Amino acid sequence: MSLARKALAAREIDASIAEDAQALASDPSACVVTPTVTYPLGLYATKIAALREVPVRGRVALPGEPVAQGRALLLLHHYGLIRLDRDAGLQPRVRDIVGNPRQLRFHTLPAASLAAALRSDALVAMPYAVADAAGLAPARDALGMEDARVPWANVLAVRAADCRAEWVAHTAAAFHASPVKTFILARFNDSVRRPW
Amino acid sequence: MVRQLLWQQLWLFGCVALMQHAAWADTQRAARVVRVGVVTQADTELVVAANPVQAGGVQLQAVPFATCRWRARRWPHARSTLR
């Protein structure tokens, strides 16, 4: 059970904005109300300036955590660096790669080691939190990053019993208000993205 | 005459009481606090940004998961690892 669902079930919180819809999808006790922000996973490098410069047989570091790894592979697929099996779904693995024109060599690392891999690897896929901790901003430093409307946008979630409550509608409206829209752009400079 | 005056007083008292109740109810509605679970600093900043909007009298309060009792009980060091 996810962090948000446990805290919601324990009535420690009334709502959560800390997780994405995919993490909450399998639980009928939680209700996904609306997306809030997307923390984009990005592709970073220190040796090259654009994704078209990724060298043949270059090493690519992927997050070891399964969800982040799937997101990284889908992003590489999106930029045409690899081709994934059509049936791989939203959580592909390295074994689902069916086309690798640059013969990239993949290896997985724990989140804490990803930033250090920038020194040795041609390309490193980093979730937002890892990049942020390393002082990297996706909009400024990433060679490629996820779109705001990926399925992993964080969502406002509440207990299923509260789904139609008036306060939930008001809370959703507060997160989608014009000042919040301005705040997201001004504070995060597109490194945290708005999916609504 | 005295009876009419008493009725007027009673009527006035009733009106004042009703108005006070309406004002109190408004205050209660405005004080609807919604505890929003957050993990990252960015989550917290988002809640703080959304809070002044107070749509429909809802007040948002950021609650880091690390402070939740169930989490503190199971992972006593969660605060330092999550923040």
- What's the CATH code, domain A3-38+150-188? 3.40.190.10
Closest CA to B32 of A108, A165, A35, A110: A165
- Angle of helix A178-188 relative to helix B41-50, nearest 10 degrees, comes to 150
Decide: helix, strand or coil at residue A96. helix
Percentage of chain B lying above the pLDDT 70 cut: 61
Torsion of CA B24, B57, B49, B66, to 10 degrees: 80
The total of structural domains in chain B comes to 2
pLDDT digits (tens, 9 = 90+) for A111-136: 999 999 999 999 999 999 999 999 99
Going residue by residue through chain B, which has 83 residues, state the pLDDT in tens, using 9 for 90 and above. Answer: 778 888 888 887 776 777 777 666 665 555 688 999 998 888 999 999 998 766 677 889 999 876 554 444 444 333 333 33
Give the structural domain span for B12: 1-29
Q: Are residues B41 and B6 in the same domain?
A: no
Based on the domain organization, do B23 and B61 belong to the same domain? no
Both B43 and B8 in a single domain? no
Q: Do residues A40 and A137 make contact, with C-beta atoms less than 8 angstroms apart?
A: no
- In a mutagenesis test of the B interface, which of A1, A3, A36 is the best target, namely the one with the most B β-carbons within 10 Å? A3
User: Which CATH architecture does the domain made up of A42-145 adopt?
Assistant: 3-Layer(aba) Sandwich (3.40)
A36 interaction partners in chain B (CB closer than 8 Å)? 46
What chain A residue is nearest to B34 in terms of C-alpha separation?
A: A14
Residues of B with CB below 8 A from A154's CB?
43
State the best of B29, B40, B80 to mutate against chain A, taking most chain A CBs within 10 Å: B40
Cβ-Cβ contacts under 8 Å for A175 (sequence gap 6 or more) = A17, A34, A36, A156, B46, B50
Mean pLDDT of A18-35: 88
Would you say residue A83 has pLDDT above 70? yes
In a shared domain, residues B56 and B68: yes
What local confidence, expressed as pLDDT, does residue B79 receive?
A: 38
pLDDT at position B29 is 56
Nearest to A21 by CA among A175, A150, A183, A115: A150
B39 and chain A: CB distance < 8 Å anywhere? yes
Domain boundaries, chain A: 3-38+150-188, 42-145
